[in-house]
Amino acid sequence: MPSARVKMVLGRVAQAVPVAVGVVVISFLLTRALPGDPAAYFAGPAADEASIAQIREARGLDKPLIQQFVIYVGELLRGELGTSISTGQSVAADLARRLPASLELTLTALVISCAVALPLGILAATRPGSWVDHLCRVLVTAGVSLPTFFTGIVLIYVFYYLLGLAPSPLGRLDFIYLPPERVSGFYLVDAAIAGDWGTWLGALKQLILPAVTLALFTLAPIARMTRAAMLSALSSDFIRTARAAGLTRRKVLYGYALRNALLPVVTTLGMVFSFTLGANVLVEKVFAWPGIGSYAVEALVVSDYAAVQGFVLAMALLFVVLNLVIDIAYALIDPRIGLT
Amino acid sequence: MAEISMPSARVEKAGGTLRHIAYVLRTNPVTMIAFAMFAFFLACGVFGPALAPYDPLASNAAIALQPPSAAHWFGTDNLGRDVFSRVIVATRLDLMISVAAVALSFLAGSALGAVAGYWGGWLDAVLNRLLDTIMAFPLFVLAMGIVAALGNTIENIIYATAIINVPFYARLVRAEVNIRRNAGFALAAKLSGNSDLRVLALHIFPNALPPMMVQVSLNLGWAILNAAGLSFIGLGVRPPTPEWGIMVAEGANFIVSGEWWLALFPGLWLMLAVFTFNLLGDGLRDMVDPRKRT
């Protein structure tokens, strides 16, 4: 019955709306909860009385809070997040320009960590007490204790300074290469489209260390959840029935156990995304990665207020959308929907 | 007969709990190691300044950037300060930030969750919406935004860390209180004339404490990571105050020229502290609820 799935997907979309509204309200409060004068913050530390007054007038900061909120939402709907005082450009444009770098890093990291964590968790669950199981347990406990910024620094020391394998940890591309023509903003994709494999390799080399750093961080929760979910799926009645019916080991393991075990794993991915978006900020700072995380850190240093709050809001909305995608994916792969 | 058997049964029950804990510790030496390491970090936190061999703030340009040696176990930094002393002294600040933050979120989360779980209704609905909204933010990013909005101080780091942790406690308590709201013992307490608040606080809430303790221990490690991450990007603690996150950030500038000890030791120390709390949390979970062992 496809209608059950469609209904469920629509339900998830409807649930995301109040959350998105809540996110906007909280970020509005964050921009207005300042102990001092918001206009002075938006104008920056170098502003004089006249320009502060001008900003107060222009942004409607002298109006009542409700009215300010209406103005704020109106600006958001037009895609305006204010102007960054350090770059002099609109925050939305800055973020849009730097977002692909962060996404490329995050997605690569998630692909790496899923590619390692899922098989590891499955193997650990199917062979409890074996060395794979112990390895999984050690990795899981150590992984959640790793400060990402510290892992990144250790990797730089080992692979750049000691072994000389990695290029210097300064951004997305060594200065000997020209960035590829912008199509998607992902250097790997753009260089491949342009057919410039030298640049592609150069971009990949820069990407590996930060992506592995992030992947090490996200590996633990995914492996832990995969193992636990596989264990509980394997001990359930339907697996016993499938085994008793004489199905092959492969069919039982991947056809039935894994398909059910993937559900909690997909749910965990939402939490993992939350951590990754936060850890991104730290990793980008360590590797001088020109994404939105390092943009926010630079903005924090110079008290570039609009830029920081624009970043927080953008990340939160991105996260709401990601969670929505995950929920929909959940609805699509859940074998129980449509059976009842 | 009844008067005699009652206390003896109670003693036996307490002895049973102790025996159970001793059994869990014996069969799981890792938990015992975790307790020992916890005691070590606690000692560093309490006696830190007395244990440190040098003044953590005293710079001496003559011995700048020296690798680890017998005199300076963890080497010296670019200003000639002893890294070992700084790492030890920083323990108190890092533990204080995380303990204060977790205590705040424990209190706020307990109060909110208990009220929502016991009375339900619109209170519950509003609280759930609020928690959903907080959880809709990537938590570290929200903490950054809060600190940026409230001002760049250590107290605000604590508040920010507390706020992003509240949902975990509130949800846990809400669930634990909700399933016991109409339990026999709660209704009996109510019938014998206790007020709602009293039943909630003294009869129902204590049942939520064991799982809360596990959460606290796991959360402490996470709170330390969070605080160190915030100070790594330049929020909260200001140099020259010794703090693990800042020390790693300062050491990062020297890693590409090969001075590894500046960043490595504070980073390892931080990792060890987080690891201790995570192991402790896992161990506590085994004691509290053997079924949840993964």
Indicate yes or no: CB of A147 within 8 angstroms of CB of B148.
Answer: no
Which of A250-259, B25-34, B110-119 shows the lowest mean pLDDT across its residues?
B25-34
Most A CBs within 10 Å, among B135, B140, B163, B231, to test the A interface: B140
* pLDDT level of residue A86 (50, 70, 90 thresholds): confident
Task: Return the SS3 of A34.
Answer: coil
CB contact at 8 A, B234 and B252: no
Q: Which of A23, A141, A157 sits opposite B137 (nearest CB)?
A: A23
Reported as type and span, the H/E element at residue A313 is: helix A305-333
Nearest beta carbon to residue B138 from set A30, A277, A308: A277
In this prediction the pTM is 0.84
Choose between B73 and A157: higher pLDDT: A157
Can you tell me the distance from the alpha carbon of A279 to that of A143, in angstroms, rounded to the nearest whole number?
Answer: 13
Cβ pair A309:B146 closer than 8 A: no
Mean pLDDT, all residues of chain B: 83
pLDDT tens digits, residue range B237-251?
887 888 888 888 888
Residue B48: which of B113, B93, B109 has the closest Cα? B93
What's the pLDDT tens digit per position in A91-131?
888 888 888 999 899 989 999 999 999 988 888 888 877 78
Give the pLDDT score at B2. 43
**Residue A90, beta-bridge partner list:** A83
B163, B146 Cβ separation under 8 angstroms:
yes
pLDDT in tens, B147-163: 888 888 889 999 999 99
- One-letter amino acid of B128: N
Q: Which long-range contacts (CB under 8 A, 24 or more apart) does B21-25 make?
A: B21/B287, B24/B283, B24/B286, B24/B287
Q: What is the pLDDT of residue B1?
A: 39
Query: pLDDT digit string (tens) for A57-85?
Result: 776 677 777 888 888 888 888 877 877 87
Query: Is B294 in Cβ contact with A227 (below 8 Å)?
Result: yes
pLDDT, tens only, A160-215: 888 888 787 777 777 777 777 777 778 888 888 887 888 888 888 889 999 999 99
Q: Is the pLDDT of residue A43 over 80?
A: no
What are the tens digits of pLDDT across the range A278-301? 888 999 988 888 889 888 888 888
Name residues whose C-beta falls within 8 Å of residue A176's C-beta, 6 or more positions apart in sequence: A202
Q: Is A302 on the interface with B (CB under 8 A)?
A: no
pLDDT score of A38 more than 70: no
pLDDT-derived band at B3 (thresholds 50, 70, 90) equals very low
A339 - beta bridge partners? none
CB nearest B234 (choices: A142, A301, A308): A301
Alpha carbon distance, N-terminus to C-terminus of chain A: 9
Please name the residue that has the structure tokens 């995914």. Answer: A222
Residue with tokens 């339907």: A238
Residue A277 in contact with partner chain B when CB distance is under 8 A: yes
- Give the pLDDT score at B110: 92
Cα B87 to Cα B31, B57, B235, B247: the distances in Å are 25, 11, 19, 8
pLDDT at residue B6, rounded to an integer: 47
Q: What is the ipTM of this complex?
A: 0.84
